[in-house]
């Protein structure tokens, strides 16, 4: 899916994806389980003395509306860019309002000078928002659309962005990156609030930009290695953990540690989707990584209230890694965030030892300890083994729900086929609103079609199958949030054990791990 519509990944068909989307995207942008039961989690062996770990464990109201008042731009300042932020979808339908809100929040929180690029740019009707003014009784045309061509945009409206900035096309993003990387010696913070897609390998994962082209982890590594200004990347898209390959030269583990000074923090693992693409503008109902992360940088909780305890090392400032830890602790979502240091650690030490050495000397990893302490208390899981058993059980439950969801989707498809055959055998063009005879069919047979949709048994059977699909999807979504939270705790505990092992071993791998940690502990300038 190269168009940025990653909300629909993992569902059996596009038609079914659109039908269950309001439930799925209420928590996240789709089904985060894109592979086998081990995808996104630890690769669990039977020998508990040496456990390998993985590197990733409706009525149409789509009219244009005026944008809210444009947000005040920051005061212009001179000097090299301190941050470059870009985001949005590849088309208006995938440019949910939360992506715009996250870029606005980034501009508020980060100190400049900075540059923003967003969706289709100034003047384009790029932003999709849910609307409350849907008619109580949908028209016949809309009812037919919900059967034959469902899509989430019908409960939305589109408006201009409040960000008066250029479009986030691949060409514009690459040009801005090249300019920013070529100037100044201070670190450049790159922030990305976009949709992500999977490639053939983690380094080929990419963020989808306006117009459908994408920037991959491998391409970003190549850009940086041509002009290696220190770089800190924060990527919040689905499959963003693929950008953790920046820990390696050319984003390739076989080529060894990256010599270019860079690191990154990411909303999810390389093979899992994330939350955050929300068309609902009410921030109180959002749980994405970006919202928690950016607010934490400003010492605020998700709602913008003062936040105590985010400064984990007590140095009086909140680093990227501390804000990342806050997102891992506080978010009730499917996100399982990761970093370049975690990716490199799991490459350098691929197995969790039965008895890890005590972690006493730097790195003491206060961020990991904070995640473990908070989630262990919340989940009442006191040991690594106990956490692993809980995750394994939840993974099995999700596999069973996966099968149940697939069965419900097959039943829905079968009911749809029966209904479509019955309707189209009488009115063959009802599934094609662009057919020259469609309007005439509605005009001539509208009352009879209305009666069919109200009385035919095929319609009732289809409605029942759809309701069943939504119920199962809601159960799956809730279970996925629980599994993701336990997986965050499991990976934090594994990280402590792996880091202690690497520390005891020493050598160049430990030195690179410590360099990545220091990079991730960067404190960005505040306005």
**pLDDT in the model for residue 75:** 40
Q: For residues 300 and 297, give the distance between their C-alpha atoms in angstroms, rounded to a whole number.
A: 7
Predicted confidence (pLDDT) at residue 56 exceeds the cutoff of 50 = no
Cis amide prior to 364 (ω within 30 degrees): no
User: Under a CB-based contact definition with an 8 Å cutoff, are residues 217 and 203 in contact?
Assistant: yes
Question: Which residue in 262, 512, 282, 490 sits closest to 372, CA to CA?
Answer: 490
Type and span of the H or E element at 474? helix 457-505
How far apart are alpha carbons 250 and 102 in whole angstroms? 29
- Of 313, 360, 320, which Cα lies nearest the Cα of 340? 320
Rounded distance between C-alpha atoms, residue 507 and residue 260, angstroms:
19
Other Cβ atoms closer than 10 A to 453: 18
Helix (H, G, I), strand (E, B) or coil at 367: helix
What does the block give as tokens for 14?
């596009």
Q: pLDDT averaged over the chain?
A: 87
Distance CA 80, CA 61 (A): 44
**Rounded distance, CA 177 to CA 499, Å?**
33
Residue 524 DSSP SS3: coil
Question: How many residues are recorded in the chain?
Answer: 527
Q: Name which of 131-135, 138-142, 191-195, 470-474 the model is least confident about.
A: 131-135
Output the pLDDT for position 67.
Answer: 53
Cβ-in-10-Å burial (0-12, 13-18, 19+) of 69 comes to exposed
Q: CB of 230 within 8 A of CB of 520?
A: no
pLDDT at residue 408 is higher than 50: yes
Q: Tell me: the pLDDT tens digits for 189-227?
A: 999 999 999 999 999 999 999 999 999 999 999 999 999
Query: For residue 156, what is the enclosing H or E element?
Result: strand 156-159
Selection from 478, 481, 492 nearest residue 388 by Cα: 492
CA dist., res. 208 & res. 429, Å (int): 34
In which element (H, E) is residue 214 found?
strand 214-216
Is 355 in contact with 500 (CB distance < 8 Å)?
Answer: no
What is each CA distance from 133 to 60, 136, 151, 429, in whole angstroms?
10, 9, 17, 29
Q: What are phi and psi of 56, to 5 degrees?
A: -145, 55
Residue 485: pLDDT over 50? yes
Which tens digit of pLDDT belongs to each residue from 345-404? 999 999 887 776 665 544 579 999 999 999 999 999 999 999 999 999 999 999 999 999
Q: Which of 151, 168, 159, 163 is nearest to 208 (CA)?
A: 168
- Residue range 507-524: average pLDDT? 97
- At 339 the three-state DSSP class reads strand
Is a pLDDT exceeding 90 seen at residue 39? no
Number of Cβ within 10 Å of residue 143's Cβ equals 18
pLDDT of residue 356: 61
In 10 A of CB 222, how many CB atoms?
Answer: 12
pLDDT at position 360 is 56
Q: 243: exposed, middle or buried (C-beta count within 10 Å: 0-12, 13-18, 19+)?
A: buried
Asked whether 165 and 118 are in contact (CB, 8 A), the reply is yes
The two tokens of residue 91 are 């088309």
**Residue 170 — pLDDT band, cuts 50, 70, 90?**
very high
CA–CA separation, 201 vs 489, rounded Å?
26
SS3 248: strand
Ranges of beta strands (E only) in 229-315 are 231-235, 262-266
The more confident residue out of 290 and 26 is: 290
CB 497 within 8 Å of CB 52:
no
Contacting residues for 184 by C-beta, under 8 A, at least 6 apart: 79, 80, 81, 229
At residue 76 the predicted structure's pLDDT band, cuts being 50, 70 and 90, is very low
- Is 449 in contact with 364 (CB distance < 8 Å)? no
* Residue 28 CB neighbours (<10 A): 27
Query: 3-class SS at 160?
Result: coil
Read off the pLDDT of each residue in 227-246 and give the average, rounded to a whole number: 96
pLDDT in tens, 263-280: 999 999 999 999 989 999
> CA dist 80 to 91, 328, 360, Å?
31, 32, 39
What 3 state SS string does 92-147 have?
HHHCEHHHHHHHHHHHHHCCCCEEEEECCCCCCCCEEEECCCCCCCCCHHHHHHHH
DSSP state at residue 173: H
Q: Are 53 and 352 in contact (CB under 8 A)?
A: yes
User: What pLDDT sits at residue 363?
Assistant: 56
Q: What is the pLDDT of residue 336?
A: 98
Q: Name the band, by pLDDT with cuts 50, 70 and 90, for residue 185.
A: confident
What's the rounded Cα separation, in Å, for the pair 306 and 379?
25
Which of 31-35, 234-238, 515-519 has the weakest average pLDDT?
Answer: 31-35
CB atoms < 10 A from the CB of 82, how many? 20
Distance CA 491, CA 494 (A): 5
Strand partners, 192: 86, 235
């Amino acid at each position: 899916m190269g168009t940025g519509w990653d909300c629909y990944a993992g569902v059996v068909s596009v038609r079914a994806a659109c039908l269950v989307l309001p439930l799925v995207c209420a928590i996240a942008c789709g089904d985060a389980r894109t592979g086998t039961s081990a995808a996104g989690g630890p690769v669990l062996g039977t020998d508990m003395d040496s456990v390998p770990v993985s590197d990733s464990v409706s009525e149409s109201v789509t009219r244009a509306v005026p944008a809210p008042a444009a947000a005040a731009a920051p005061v212009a300042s001179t000097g090299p860019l301190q941050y470059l932020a870009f985001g949005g979808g590849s088309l208006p339908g995938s440019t949910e309002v939360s992506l715009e809100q996250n870029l606005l929040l980034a501009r508020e929180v980060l100190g400049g000078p900075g540059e923003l690029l967003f969706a289709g740019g100034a003047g384009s009707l790029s932003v999709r928002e849910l609307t409350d003014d849907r008619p109580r009784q949908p028209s016949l045309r809309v009812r037919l659309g919900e059967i034959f061509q469902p899509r989430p945009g019908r409960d939305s409206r589109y408006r201009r962005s409040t960000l008066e900035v250029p479009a986030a096309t691949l060409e514009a993003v690459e040009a801005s990156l090249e300019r920013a990387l070529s100037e100044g010696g201070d670190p450049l913070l790159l922030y990305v609030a976009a949709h992500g897609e999977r490639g053939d390998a983690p380094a080929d994962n990419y963020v989808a930009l306006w117009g459908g082209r994408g920037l991959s982890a491998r391409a970003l590594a190549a850009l940086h290695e041509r002009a290696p200004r220190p770089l800190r990347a924060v990527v919040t898209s689905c499959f963003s953990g693929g950008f953790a390959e920046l820990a390696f030269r050319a984003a390739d583990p076989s080529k060894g540690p990256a010599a270019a000074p860079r690191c990154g923090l990411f909303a999810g693992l390389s093979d899992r989707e994330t939350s955050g693409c929300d068309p609902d503008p009410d921030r109180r109902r959002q749980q994405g990584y970006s919202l928690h992360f950016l607010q934490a940088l400003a010492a605020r909780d998700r709602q913008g209230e003062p936040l105590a305890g985010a400064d984990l090392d007590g140095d009086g400032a909140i680093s990227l890694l501390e804000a990342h830890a806050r997102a891992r602790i506080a978010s009730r979502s499917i996100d399982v965030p990761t970093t370049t240091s975690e990716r490199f650690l799991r490459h350098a030490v691929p197995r969790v030892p039965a008895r890890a050495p005590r972690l006493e000397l730097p790195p003491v990893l206060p961020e990991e300890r904070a995640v473990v302490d908070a989630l262990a208390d919340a989940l009442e899981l006191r040991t690594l083994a106990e956490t692993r058993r809980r995750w394994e059980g939840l993974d099995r439950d999700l596999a069973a729900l996966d099968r149940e969801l697939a069965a419900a989707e097959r039943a829905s498809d079968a009911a749809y086929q029966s209904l479509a055959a019955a309707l189209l055998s009488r009115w063959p063009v009802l599934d094609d609103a662009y057919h020259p005879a469609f309007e005439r069919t509605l005009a001539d047979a509208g009352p009879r079609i209305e009666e069919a949709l109200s009385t035919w048994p095929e319609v009732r059977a289809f409605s029942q199958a759809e309701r069943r699909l939504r119920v199962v999807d809601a159960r799956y979504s809730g279970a996925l949030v629980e599994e993701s939270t336990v997986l965050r705790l499991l990976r934090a505990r594994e990280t402590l054990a792996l880091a202690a092992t690497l520390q005891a071993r020493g050598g160049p791998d430990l030195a690179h791990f410590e360099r990545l940690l220091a990079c991730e502990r960067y404190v960005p300038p505040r306005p």
